[in-house]
Amino acid sequence: MPSLLIITTGGQGLKSPFSLIRFTHRYVWICRIHYVANWSDVLVAWALMSKLNNRQIEVAEVVFPCENLAENLAFFTDTLGFRIESIYPADTPRVAVVAAYGTRLRLEEKTGVAPDTLLLICRRAELEAGAYDELVAPNGTRVKFEATDIPPVIPDLVSSLTVQKIGVQSNWGIGRAGMQYRDLIPDRLGGRYIASHIRIPEGGPVPDYVHHHHILFQLIYCYKGWVRVVYEDQGAPFLMHPGDCVLQPPHIRHQVLECSDAFEVLEIGCPAEHVTLVDHDIALPTEQLRPDRDFGGQRFCFHQAVETDWSAWRADGFENCDFGFVGATGSLVSVGLVRTVAGSTLPASSHQNELLFNFVLQGSMTLECEDNQVWQLQAGDAYTIPAGKDYSFSDCSADLEFLEVLTPG
């Protein structure tokens, strides 16, 4: 019988010889040892007890590899009564943490069978100070340490020219909470950015839960239909209509409550793969109303289409509506709409931003890049242009309008 390693709370003492070994006043290591065949096992247990004594372990997670995350997640939640604690990435979930009965399991979608791994979650300062080393139990169980308070990992940028056509490359997958996801930047620019076209065909209550994201930044643009959402410390639930956009600061708790039929939204964020954390303790809306609250150096921002104010864009013949996210993010990201004035064209030009992402909301245009690369674009198409690469617009329809997202270099 394989040994069972469990971290739990409480101050119980030894209930029977070698069945319980208490290594702090808060945590108990349960060792399934029915008889002492090898005293070295006991010595290893006491060595681990000494190593972990007085450390600030917050929670333990047991890793379970599985070939199909959806099936295993349904079994643990529906059959065994576990509840979801976190799941990621949102568009194609591969990792889910579930908890019940004082136990947390990390389901990881991967092929093959690896030894069970126990993750002990601790403070980043202790981890960086080298207070913990990876351990291996006698039965092969790996004991690893991870920090809960580390900043999101931002991969290095790998610039590329990407063009996604709505009718040709519309590969929709099922993501978090049953929503349909379409990837607008397939290569993720090296994993640094993600842009998703999300839709919910049938309206009504959304099976969402109070959650927050471990991100650098994330924005949500309402493309079609309407949705009712609620955010931590931002007042009562409110409706988002086409053209509305919110900046979701890091770790702001929020929940999608209900939406219309044929609801569609655009979600752009950094990094591409990030953890979505579920908060079972907070109830939304919160009693406080703090519109200027700081969330990781950013504040919540809600742009409404009815308040659109147009001004000159960086090129003649176009107008721009800035959403005000530059100030809300400390110049981290700029978001706005661009539209034609009359028969507009954009002469060959380039930019020096880290990211230039455009999504055509309505109308049509011709995009041409250096090396004679030409695309006919329409509503639903999206593209990214690398810094320093020449590009131009032509054949812009009178109703052309697109969403533009820029991050500085």
**Domain CATH code at residue 390:** 2.60.120.10
Residue 212 lies in a domain: yes
Q: Which three-class secondary structure state does DSSP give residue 68?
A: coil
Residue 325 near residue 367 (C-beta atoms within 8 A) = no
Per-residue tokens: 278 = 């579920």
Report residue 140 as tokens: 């092969």
List, in order, residues 6 or more apart from 244 with CB less than 8 Å away. Answer: 221, 222, 302, 303, 304, 305
Last residue of a domain, one of 271, 303, 335: 303
222 and 254 inside one domain: yes
Q: Is residue 205 part of a domain?
A: yes
Q: What per-residue confidence (pLDDT) applies to 280? A: 94
280 in the same domain as 170? yes
Residue 44: how many CB atoms within 10 A of its CB? 16
**What pLDDT does 21 receive?**
34
* Unique residue bearing structure tokens 């929940």: 255
Q: Are residues 140 and 237 in the same domain?
A: no
Distance CA 81, CA 54 (A): 33
Domain count, the chain: 3
Specify if 58 maps to a domain: yes
- pLDDT mean values, one per 10 residues, the chain (409 residues): 40 35 34 44 59 68 85 86 92 91 85 68 73 71 77 93 86 82 95 96 92 96 98 98 98 97 97 94 96 96 93 92 96 96 85 97 95 93 96 94 92
Q: What is the pLDDT of residue 1?
A: 35
The region that residue 133 occupies, defined by phi over 0 for left and psi between -120 and 50 for alpha, beta otherwise, is beta
| 315 and 399 both lie in a single domain | yes
Of 248, 277, 303, which residue constitutes the final position of a domain? 303
Q: Record the pTM.
A: 0.76
pLDDT of res. 115 = 57
Domain ends where: 303, 337, 364? Answer: 303
Do 358 and 314 form a contact (C-beta atoms < 8 A)? no
**Residue 11 confidence (pLDDT):** 40
Enumerate residues 6+ apart whose C-beta is below 8 A from 79.
none
Judge whether 97 and 154 are in contact, CB under 8 Å: no
Distance CA 295, CA 127 (A): 24
Residue-range definition of the domain harbouring residue 268: 162-303
